[in-house]
Chain A
Amino acid sequence: GNSVTQMEGPVTLSEEAFLTINCTYTATGYPSLFWYVQYPGEGLQLLLKATKADDKGSNKGFEATYRKETTSFHLEKGSVQVSDSAVYFCALSHGSGGSNYKLTFGKGTLLTVNP
Chain B
Amino acid sequence: GAGVSQSPSNKVTEKGKDVELRCDPISGHTALYWYRQSLGQGLEFLIYFQGNSAPDKSGLPSDRFSAERTGGSVSTLTIQRTQQEDSAVYLCASSPRQEIYEQYFGPGTRLTVT
List CB contacts (< 8 Å) of A92-113 with chain B: 93, 95-108
A-B interface pairs (CB < 8 A), number: 59
Chain A residues near B18 (CB, 8 Å)? none
Q: Which residue of chain A is the closest to B58 with respect to CB atoms?
A: A102
Chain A residues near B105 (CB, 8 Å)? 43-45
Q: Which residue of chain A is the closest to B35 with respect to CB atoms?
A: A103
Q: How far apart sit A89 and B102, CA to CA, in the bound complex (Å)?
A: 15
The contact of B101 among A32, A42, A107, by CB within 8 Å, is A32
Chain A residues near B59 (CB, 8 Å)? 102
By the criterion CB–CB under 8 Å, are A102 and B56 in contact?
A: yes
Q: Determine chain B's interface SS by DSSP, over half rule.
A: strand
Interface size class of B (residues with CB under 8 A): 20 to 34
Q: Is B103 an interface position by the 8 A CB rule?
A: yes
Interface of B with A (CB < 8 Å)?
A: 4, 30-31, 33, 35, 42-45, 48, 50, 55-56, 59, 91, 93, 95, 97, 100-103, 105-108
Shortest Cβ gap from B101 to chain A (Å): 6
Q: Is A49 an interface position by the 8 A CB rule?
A: yes
Q: Which residue of chain A is the closest to B47 with respect to CB atoms?
A: A102
By the criterion CB–CB under 8 Å, are B45 and A101 in contact?
A: no
By the criterion CB–CB under 8 Å, are A101 and B103 in contact?
A: yes
Q: How far apart sit A96 and B45, CA to CA, in the bound complex (Å)?
A: 14
By the criterion CB–CB under 8 Å, are A46 and B102 in contact?
A: yes
Q: Is A51 an interface position by the 8 A CB rule?
A: yes
Chain B residues near A99 (CB, 8 Å)? 30-31, 50, 97, 100
Q: How far apart sit A95 and B50, CA to CA, in the bound complex (Å)?
A: 13
Shortest Cβ gap from A60 to chain B (Å): 16
What are 15 sample pairs from A and B whose C-beta atoms fall under 8 A apart?
A34-B101, A42-B107, A44-B105, A45-B105, A51-B101, A99-B30, A100-B31, A100-B50, A101-B95, A102-B56, A103-B35, A103-B43, A105-B43, A105-B44, A108-B43
